[in-house]
Amino acid sequence: MTKMNDLIARVFRQEVLAMSAYHVADAEDLIKLDAMENPYEWPEDVKTHWLETLRACPLNRYPDPGARRLAATIKQMNGLDQDAALLLGNGSDEIIQLLLMALPQGSPVLSPEPGFVMYKQLSHCLGLNYIGIPLQEEDFALDLPAMLTAIERHQPKLIFLAYPNNPTGNLFNQDAIGAIIEQAPGLVVIDEAYEPFADASYLEMLGRHPNLLVMRTVSKLGLAGLRLGYLCGSPELIEQLDKIRLPYNINVLTQASAEFALNHKALFDQQTRLIRAERARVFAELNAIGGITAYPSSANFILFRTPSGRANAIFAALKQMGVLIKNLSPQGGILVDCLRVTIGKPDENEAFLSALKQSLISHP
Ligand X SMILES: *Cc1c(COP(=O)(O)O)cnc(C)c1O
- Whose CB is nearest to ligand X? 91
Angle of helix 265-287 versus helix 252-262 axis, rounded to 10? 80
Quick check: 33 binds ligand X (CB under 6 A)?
no
Helix (H, G, I), strand (E, B) or coil at 130: strand
- DSSP class of residue 29 equals T
Which 85-114 residues touch ligand X, going by CB under 6 A? 91-93
Which 311-350 residues touch ligand X, going by CB under 6 A? none
Helix (H, G, I), strand (E, B) or coil at 160: strand
Least Cβ distance, residue 141 to ligand X (angstroms): 17
Least Cβ distance, residue 336 to ligand X (angstroms): 21
User: Of the candidates 166, 257, 298, 329, which one interacts with ligand X according to CB under 6 A?
Assistant: 166
Quick check: 260 binds ligand X (CB under 6 A)?
no
Q: How many other C-beta atoms are found inside a 10 Å radius of the C-beta of residue 299?
A: 29
Contacts of 191 (CB under 8 A, 6+ apart): 92, 116, 160, 161, 162, 163, 215
Nearer to ligand X, 191 or 242 (CB): 191
Task: Spell out the alpha helix ranges (H) of 19-91.
Answer: 44-55, 68-77
Closest among 154, 187, 172 to 114, alpha carbons compared: 172
Least Cβ distance, residue 88 to ligand X (angstroms): 11
- DSSP class of residue 219 equals I
Q: How many residues bind ligand X (CB under 6 A)?
A: 13
Least Cβ distance, residue 333 to ligand X (angstroms): 18
d(CA 286, CA 327): 16
Quick check: 202 binds ligand X (CB under 6 A)?
no
Quick check: 122 binds ligand X (CB under 6 A)?
no
Nearer to ligand X, 108 or 112 (CB): 112
Contacts of 6 (CB under 8 A, 6+ apart): none
Least Cβ distance, residue 249 to ligand X (angstroms): 12
Quick check: 150 binds ligand X (CB under 6 A)?
no
Q: How many other C-beta atoms are found inside a 10 Å radius of the C-beta of residue 162?
A: 24
Least Cβ distance, residue 215 to ligand X (angstroms): 7
Cβ pair 73, 263 in contact under 8 A:
yes
User: Of the candidates 156, 169, 229, 344, which one interacts with ligand X according to CB under 6 A?
Assistant: 229
Query: Which residues contribute to the site for ligand X (CB under 6 A)?
Result: 36, 91-93, 116, 162, 166, 191, 193, 217, 219, 224, 229
